[in-house]
Amino acid sequence: MIRTIKKILKTLLGIVLFPFKLMWKLIVNLLKRFKFSIAFKISASYFFLYIVIILIVAMITSAGYMLNEINKFEKNIAEKDVENIIDNYPEIKNLNMDVSVKTVEIFDSSLNPVYPSGSRSRYSDNIIVVIEKLFYNREYIYSSSFYYGAETYYINISYEITSLLSDAARICMLVLVSGTIGLFFFVPIVSRTSYKVIGPIKNMTEITKTITVNNINTRLDIKGTQDELKELSQTFNEMMDRIEEGYTTQQQFVSDASHELRTPIAVIKGYVNMLDRWGKNDKAVLEESISAIKNETESMQDLIEKLLFIARSDKSTLTYTKEDFKISIILNEIEKETKMIDQRHRLYFKFYEDATIYGDQKRIKQAIRILLENAMKFTPQDGYIMVSSFIQDDYYVIKVEDTGIGIEKKDLEKIFERLYRAEQSRSKEIGGHGLGLSIAKIIVLGHKGKIKVKSTLGKGSEFSIMLPYI
Ligand code: ADP
């Protein structure tokens, strides 16, 4: 039963509120269509708040005035009138009462009217009734009680207070008018302040719009901005720093790569010219040219493949074909291949432990080979090269040690950068493009591993690849 009533009430409420809801939706949609600026919205909110405050102040002042006046009136007039009535009761005619008295009503202890006789009115000391009469009938009802002949009597004296009400209304109007005058000063101040607050954002937008690759070093001015905006500008500037750094590195890389390609192309061109002039008949020139062109094209191919690998890694299109495999398979293959191609060094292979790795066999082999090729390149004849592998904590470590030329301390952090080659290794005979270690690093990181280096100039180097194992 209660549930049905609740349901009916809910439906009724829904029906009654429906037009209001519709109106509200319409207003919200309409406001959404207008693109008000933040400054305007801030000003509008302040304006609204100001009006609310002025209204509240007007209401409180006039209500306060009325309360105060009524209080005074009760003490100075109403109480005296009641005393007058009590003194003369039951004779209350021809009393010297205040001029504003409209009616006097007396009730017995059961609140039945006794004066004026035959009256049907009711005793009222209820605040709501008092307020209602105040505004509708412009009269103030004062209530009191007294004893007469061992019985309690209640009195209602109703006073005419039109002048008090119009005074209160006048005060209310005065506050409202002052508020309206204040508005003329308030509006321009508020709108200027809000535009001042929003100004830096506008500035930021304008500056941001002008930033292109040609003026990538442009930054927002932080000095004049407010606190939160300062933080925003700072964050934006920091982001631009990072972008600029990335962009510069990328540009440097492109320029270095072009430079690397220029040399072999120039060499090939030189030999082709030589062939053109003398090579047709001179067998020695022909052979030398063919061999040189072959070498250079191979070197170029190697460089281009490496560059492509790095570009794919940058674009995140590099894919790994990962699977579980025993690392010993790769290590044994590498041992065999190295022993076959390198007779210049003393090679040692010691694989202490085996482990299962989840990864791309080919790529991991490529990374280990890069380290080994470097060791072979940078170690003089008869130098030692040792490849060992073991488990250390959560990683399977593959270490390549050599007794080669070593790396200077200042170069140690840079050798993993693209196209970086330490000074002492930049000879034509040694070769290399400075991309091997970058590629090895990409592969190792792609397997959630680590790559480390220790080296002493003139003594040798130690590179370690650390891969998580299963
Ligand atoms: P590169 O193709 O020149 O070998 P890498 O990226 O593999 O390029 O190596 C970058 C640089 O690090 C090398 O040019 C060399 O200066 C230095 N380097 C790498 N491995 C060794 C090593 N085993 N001994 C000495 N220097 C090395």
pLDDT in tens, 313-368: 988 889 999 999 999 999 999 999 999 999 999 999 999 999 999 999 999 999 99
Q: State how far the alpha carbon of 376 is from the alpha carbons of 119, 163, 222, 345, 371, in Å.
A: 125, 112, 54, 7, 9
pLDDT average, residue stretch 441-460: 96
pLDDT at 238 over 90: yes
Instruction: Quote the ligand 1 centre to 244 CA distance (angstroms).
Output: 28
**Of 386, 420, 437, which is best to mutate to test ligand 1, by the most ligand atoms within 8 angstroms of its C-beta?**
437
The reported pLDDT for the residue numbered 439 is 95
Tokens 């890389």 belong to residue: 253
Of all protein residues, whose CA lies closest to atom 13 belonging to ligand 1? Answer: 421
pLDDT at 255 over 80: yes
Report pLDDT digits (tens) over 1-45: 778 888 888 989 988 898 889 889 888 887 777 777 777 888 888
pLDDT average, residue stretch 378-407: 96
pLDDT at 438 over 80: yes
Q: Is the CB–ligand 1 distance for residue 405 below 6 Å?
A: yes
Nearest ligand 1 atom to alpha carbon 405 = 25
pTM attached to this predicted model: 0.61
Q: Is the CB–ligand 1 distance for residue 407 below 6 Å?
A: yes
Nearest ligand 1 atom to alpha carbon 370 = 7
The reported pLDDT for the residue numbered 428 is 59
Instruction: Quote the ligand 1 centre to 411 CA distance (angstroms).
Output: 10
Size of the chain in residues: 470
The reported pLDDT for the residue numbered 224 is 66
Q: State how far the alpha carbon of 399 is from the alpha carbons of 62, 340, 358, in Å.
A: 91, 20, 19
Asked if 39 contacts 199 with a C-beta cutoff of 8 angstroms, the reply is: no
The reported pLDDT for the residue numbered 1 is 74
Report percent pLDDT > 70 for the chain.
Answer: 98
At the top level of CATH, which class does the domain 227-314 belong to? mainly alpha
Query: So where are the chain's domains?
Result: 2-182, 227-314, 323-468
The reported pLDDT for the residue numbered 225 is 61
pLDDT at 413 over 90: no
Name the CATH superfamily housing domain 323-468: Histidine kinase-like ATPase, C-terminal domain (3.30.565.10)
Q: Does residue 360 or residue 130 have the better pLDDT?
A: 360
pLDDT at 226 over 70: no
pLDDT at 448 over 90: yes
Look at strands 346-351 and 384-392 and give their pairing.
parallel
Instruction: Quote the ligand 1 centre to 44 CA distance (angstroms).
Output: 67
Identify any residues that bridge with 139 across adjacent strands, giving them in sequence order.
Answer: 160
pLDDT at 160 over 90: yes
Cα(400)–Cα(454) distance, integer angstroms: 11
The reported pLDDT for the residue numbered 75 is 93
Alpha helix locations (H) across 34-114?
A: 38-73, 79-88
Q: What is the 3-state secondary structure (H, E, C) of 361-385?
A: HHHHHHHHHHHHHHHHHCCCCCCEE
pLDDT at 279 over 80: no
Average pLDDT, the chain: 90
pLDDT at 425 over 90: no
- Nearest CA among 79, 148, 77 for reference residue 114: 148
Instruction: Quote the ligand 1 centre to 135 CA distance (angstroms).
Output: 97
pLDDT average, residue stretch 76-100: 88
pLDDT average, residue stretch 180-200: 85
Q: State how far the alpha carbon of 77 is from the alpha carbons of 62, 68, 447, in Å.
A: 21, 14, 97
